[in-house]
Amino acid sequence: MAGIAYLLPIVFPDTRILTSKFWLVYFFFAIITYIAYFCVDLGLKRNPEVGIMAIMGSIAVKMFFSLAFVLIYSLNAKEKGLIFVLNFFSLYLLFSFFEIYSLLRNLRHQNK
């Protein structure tokens, strides 16, 4: 995913696709997704019966921190526009799909 983001400005040099703070947003999501995944994995190992609650809780906490990030960025940024919103929510969805896919894969292995 990072490789694609790195290559986009090279492939489309005349079009502004990424926001100026794209890598800040990218690493924010990488860190928060890792923390959420680690907490859910730990919760599933301790008590598998509350696995769904752990997954839903991690998604809610991730969404709360993401909205707080958008609010803080929007209040402090000089550039306000559609590019940031599209970059932010596309990364949010991609990292969420990755997290859910990884968790479901681990749950399948536990059920066997």
Domain span at 45: 22-111
Q: Is residue 73 part of a domain?
A: yes
Q: In the prediction, which pLDDT does 90 show? A: 87
Number of folded domains that form the chain: 1
Distance separating alpha carbons of residues 102 and 29, to the nearest angstrom: 16
Q: In the prediction, which pLDDT does 111 show? A: 60
The pTM (predicted TM-score) of the whole model is 0.74
Distance separating alpha carbons of residues 110 and 86, to the nearest angstrom: 36
Q: According to the per-residue pLDDT averaged within each range, which of 12-26, 42-56, 84-98 is highest?
A: 84-98
DSSP calls for 14-61: TS--S-TTHHHHHHHHHHHHHHHHHHHHHHHHH-GGGHHHHHHHHHHH
pLDDT tens track for 52-87: 788 888 889 889 999 998 888 888 877 767 788 888
Tell me the mean pLDDT in the region 35-56: 81
Count of Cβ atoms closer than 10 Å to residue 35 Cβ: 14
Tell me the mean pLDDT in the region 79-101: 83
